[in-house]
A = this chain, B = another copy of it.
């Protein structure tokens, strides 16, 4: 049995504010669409203050336009090229291609999308504590260490339930990126 087909084990996160370390790639891994998400830290360890995750994905289509009610989020590019488009709250948009080492900030309530524009890209995200488990709830937990070979597309019911639970609003009528 390879890791690809192994059952995800228990979370390596302690669930309470205790010191711990994770080797690169370890964490709570989940597949959603064509992305591999790995949660390194959750609100359970930070008194709800913040969570940390990494994302890896191949070049692909833009994520549906969405916003996070009450949840701030950062994009820090570890490797590759990611285009981020976010409404500036004043009728305009900020539309930037971020490469390795670049940083983008999306405050709570601002509608945004992003698209990987290099062969592969990896980002590190930080969010208001709790939101980091949206990806596992909307997609599926995995033992795999790679982005999914075939996109993991949740049912509208599963996506809707995860979105409600994690205050992630999709705006399917909004257009920010071709």
> A residues within 8 Å of B by Cβ?
17-27, 40-41, 45-47, 49-50, 52, 72, 74, 76, 78, 84, 86-89, 94, 96, 98-108, 110, 112, 124, 126, 128-129
Contacts and interface: CB of A to CB of B under 8 A. Distances in A.
A103 to B, nearest CB: 4
Nearest to A75: B21
B18 A103 contact: no
Contact of A126 (B18, B101, B126): B126
A120 to B, nearest CB: 15
Contact of A24 (B19, B47, B84, B102): B102
Contacts of A104: 19-22
